[in-house]
Amino acid sequence: MLVTFEHVTFGYAGVPVVKDVCFSVHEKERIGFLGGNGEGKTTILKLLTGELAPDEGSIVRKSALTLGYLEQSGGFTSNSTVYGAMEELFEEDRQLIARLRETEAQMAHADEAEMRTLAARAESLNRRIAARDSYHCDVRIRTVLNGMGFEGVYAQKVATMSGGERTKLKLCRLLLEEPELLVLDEPTNHLDTSTLFWLEDYLSSYKGALLVVSHDRYFLDRLTARTLELENGTLTSYKGNYSKYRVQREERRKEEERLYEKQCEEIAKLQDFVDRHIVRATSASAAQSRVKQLERMERLEKPVPPKRPPRFCFSFDEQPYECVLRYEHFDLTVDGKTLLHDASFTLMRGQKCALLGDNGTGKSTLLKFLLSGDGRVRLGRYVRIAYYDQENAQLDARERVLDAFWGKYRALSQTQMRSLLAQAGLDAEDVQKTVGELSGGLKAKLALAMLEAERGNVLVLDEPTNHLDLPAREALESALKEYSGTVLFVSHDRRFTEAVADRVILIEDGELHPFEGGYQAFLNRKKQPAKEQAEEKKTAETTGYRSREERAREAQRRNRVHAIEEELAALEQEDAALGEELAGCGRDYVRAQQITARQAQIAERTEALYEEYGTLI
């Protein structure tokens, strides 16, 4: 047993946050810890680490327990370099090896009497070095730093790094320290997909116990074998990972409701007998027996209904043409660094496409570039894009929630607006606050409610699951799966990506790599050995090239697109000139009729050209 909570209650200013909490953490146990925003998960963790003391009850810890705690915003601070900060952990190992080398040097010149003493010392040092695996310290440091994405920056000063990078460094130190109990609060924040897979693999063979708070369902499913849920101040334990917990929780709630209803029926039946027979002499004793039975009965509390999850529904008014967006042979450069070279990107109507890639490869930059209004990015006709920004930069922190919403969507009635906000999970008190007073989760829900009001037929989403709790993430998943429009999104939530995307584009080595089978096709490809991937790419380049007929058709398509664009431009110019002439016709009704007839022909021809253009691009 590492830690035991015995009937622990804790609150702030006399208001309980957690009450009568009982649970234990055993050696090598893998536990997932769940709970909504504001439920008190962080309070439990601080009680566990000893940062807070319980108001009632007790917390028993194993003697000399080593415990490592990664806070969400617990960035590591140091004046050392990245590698130097990790080396500090192994100072004792270096000293042991130095003492062994010194002893061995003394043995080379010792006489027989000294040799016995030095040999015993060397043997003792060797045992300690072997037990600590001291010779492999550098290998362990490089393994963890490279796996966590710090390869190539060993010499960088920790103080010059971002908050997210310093949080990752803190996790690196904890992994190298190998405490008996490792407590991780949202460890997958700031991690890209490849780093997530590496961390899962590393933790799956971790020797100590794990207690993990995370919104990453893949992470919880792979690593945990028990789940704790904190709800309304009460902690409940479930066997199994996240997926099994969901099933058990639903079964438990149904069973609690069934038992409560059964008891209510029994109470009503007993009370009815008492009411009818208590005054009758012949049956009064039987009635008294029922009264005593009611008094002895341990009344079940009415089950608290689960909090209603938010609900989202995205819709639009008009379908766009088949090709929603196209940009061919472009370079993407930021601050002199080329992120993409000679890339081409096409998005078709109805596709739900995920952009994946390591941090810094340009996923969010590409989204913003495609939405920048660059004339070379071709948008299909009737395309209406609605954009979700992960920073929620369009929201003014000083405005009231109602004003921020209504100021942008005046066409909505107050009833419609309040309904959208309520469905998203903002109650009557929340909508009166300023945007700056909202938590990260509520601010994200506000932005999603505003996205619904946009009624876009193309949704472009940059990390929409950031700050959302699990019920909100699952609600957003369901809404996007039901949405009949087009979706282009960036997300580090792998379960979300798997549920929504039917197409994946990986940004890697300055190129765009499409996977038409969705997230599973991407995973299957990533699991292939590098040699197989290289052979597959070579085969595609040598034997999978387009035939002469295909290349000819592609050239014809490009020529036809160019011809349509030129004809459309000429028709627009002619229509504008006719409009000016019509304005000066005066009473020349014959010429006016000729002009309007020609304008009708132009409109009809333009519509036909746009229809053809939509199928070609």
Q: Domain of 415: which CATH number?
A: 3.40.50.300
Regarding whether 420 and 284 lie in a shared domain, the answer is no
Among 525, 523, 550, 522, smallest CA distance to 536 is for 525
Q: Kindly state the DSSP code that residue 59 receives in the 8-state scheme.
A: E
Regarding whether 584 and 563 lie in a shared domain, the answer is yes
Q: How many CB atoms lie within 10 A of CB 220?
A: 25
Q: Are strands 15-25 and 3-12 parallel, antiparallel or unpaired?
A: antiparallel
Domain that holds residue 27: 1-66+179-240
Q: Give the SS3 label for residue 308.
A: coil
d(C-alpha 246, C-alpha 592), whole Å: 71
Give 527's pLDDT tier (boundaries 50, 70, 90). low
Q: Is the dihedral of CA 509, 510, 513, 518 positive or negative?
A: positive
Amino acid identity, residue 276? Answer: R
Regarding whether 528 and 441 lie in a shared domain, the answer is yes
Regarding whether 252 and 236 lie in a shared domain, the answer is no
* Residue where a domain stops, chosen among 485, 509, 542: 542
- Paired tokens of 128: 């300690």
pLDDT digits 0-9 by tens, 343-360: 889 999 999 999 998 888
* Residue where a domain stops, chosen among 522, 542, 562: 542
User: What are residue 244's phi and psi, to 5 degrees?
Assistant: -70, -35
Amino acid identity, residue 572? Answer: E
Give domain status of residue 302, yes or no: no
Q: How many CB atoms lie within 10 A of CB 540?
A: 10
Among 374, 293, 364, 397, smallest CA distance to 327 is for 374
Give domain status of residue 331, yes or no: yes
User: What are residue 362's phi and psi, to 5 degrees?
Assistant: 110, 25
Q: 157 CB contacts (<8 Å, ≥6 apart)?
A: 79, 80, 81
Regarding whether 576 and 533 lie in a shared domain, the answer is no
pLDDT digits 0-9 by tens, 240-283: 999 999 999 999 999 999 999 999 999 999 999 988 888 776 77
pLDDT at residue 548, as a whole number: 58
Give 500's pLDDT tier (boundaries 50, 70, 90). very high
Tally of CA atoms within 13 A in the half-sphere of 410 that contains its CB: 1
Regarding whether 420 and 476 lie in a shared domain, the answer is yes
Regarding whether 220 and 124 lie in a shared domain, the answer is no
More confident residue, 499 or 441: 499
pLDDT at residue 549, as a whole number: 61
- Average pLDDT value for residue range 188-215: 90
Q: Whole-model pTM?
A: 0.75
- Average pLDDT value for residue range 588-613: 82
Give domain status of residue 301, yes or no: no
Give domain status of residue 1, yes or no: yes
* HEC readout, 8-23: EEEEECCEEEEEEEEE
Give 541's pLDDT tier (boundaries 50, 70, 90). very low
Q: How many CB atoms lie within 10 A of CB 104?
A: 12
Compute the residue count for the chain: 617
Regarding whether 497 and 515 lie in a shared domain, the answer is yes
* pLDDT of 290 strictly over 60: yes
Give domain status of residue 430, yes or no: yes
Q: Kindly state the DSSP code that residue 435 receives in the 8-state scheme.
A: G
Range with the lowest mean pLDDT among 259-263, 435-439, 473-477? 435-439
Give 233's pLDDT tier (boundaries 50, 70, 90). confident
- Average pLDDT value for residue range 441-454: 92
Regarding whether 187 and 214 lie in a shared domain, the answer is yes
Give domain status of residue 150, yes or no: yes
* Residue where a domain stops, chosen among 162, 195, 228: 162
Regarding whether 456 and 508 lie in a shared domain, the answer is yes
- CA 267-273-274 angle, to 5 degrees, is 90
Q: Give the SS3 label for residue 617.
A: coil
Burial-class residue 404 by CB neighbours within 10 Å (0-12, 13-18, 19+). Answer: buried
pLDDT at residue 543, as a whole number: 42
Provide the number of structural domains found in the chain: 5
Regarding whether 415 and 329 lie in a shared domain, the answer is yes
**Site of tokens 């006489």:** 111
d(C-alpha 581, C-alpha 586), whole Å: 10
In the chain, what percentage of residues exceed pLDDT 70?
95
Residue 420 and residue 314 in contact, taking contact as beta carbons nearer than 8 Å:
no
pLDDT at residue 246, as a whole number: 92
Tally of CA atoms within 13 A in the half-sphere of 195 that contains its CB: 24
pLDDT at residue 280, as a whole number: 77
Give domain status of residue 566, yes or no: yes
Calculate the average pLDDT of the chain. 87
The maximal CA–CA distance of the chain, rounded, in angstroms, is 129
Give domain status of residue 306, yes or no: no
d(C-alpha 114, C-alpha 29), whole Å: 49
pLDDT at residue 615, as a whole number: 73
Regarding whether 490 and 439 lie in a shared domain, the answer is yes
Residue 380 and residue 322 in contact, taking contact as beta carbons nearer than 8 Å:
yes
d(C-alpha 93, C-alpha 137), whole Å: 8
Range with the lowest mean pLDDT among 1-15, 74-88, 250-264, 541-555? 541-555
* pLDDT of 74 strictly over 70: no
d(C-alpha 580, C-alpha 570), whole Å: 16
